[in-house]
Amino acid sequence: MGIVLGGIILAAGLRGWWVVFADVFGHATLSSDLINALVGAVLGIAVSLSPVGNLPVIHALFKTEGLGYPGIISFCLASAIHPRDIRTYVRIFDRSQALVLSGLLFGAAVLGGLGSTWIYAALGFRPNLLPVRLAGSLIRALLEALGF
């Protein structure tokens, strides 16, 4: 499932209608980082592709600038909060304690995405990958230069 969803995201990232969500409120701003971390954590829980299916989706979202670095880290961390695990927490603890535990895990995922990004920023750089559109245009130009 993760490979299929990742492929769909990569294909959509090449289209003009794809929304670049990574810099939704400007490049490397606090508000962009925060919204990316929150959305990434929500997607990580909603998609429920862990432990391996989330990797193609994460890579596709990052390459297409669907999410920025804080969102990707939050997605990874929050994908460990599987709905089955939440049901187990409810069985082991009472409902309110299970919700508190799930909320703490969600908060840790968001803070993990923000914290890792800000640590890199304190060191003077921001993690980025080559976007799919740029890579596609470079490959097309190379193929045209080679006569293909």
Compute φ and ψ for 24, nearest 5 degrees. Answer: -60, -35
pTM to 2 decimals?
0.80
pLDDT tens, position by position, 93-110: 999 999 999 999 999 999
Q: How far is CA 46 from CA 41, 134, 135, 136, in A?
A: 9, 30, 29, 30
Note down the domain range covering 68.
Answer: 2-145
Identify the band that residue 130 occupies on the pLDDT scale cut at 50, 70 and 90: low
Q: How far is CA 117 from CA 32, 54, 86, 136, in A?
A: 12, 20, 28, 27
Estimate the crossing angle of helix 2-13 against helix 54-63, to 10 degrees: 10
pLDDT tens, position by position, 78-96: 988 888 888 999 999 999 9
Instruction: Please count the structural domains in the chain.
Output: 1
Residue 19 has pLDDT above 90, yes or no: no
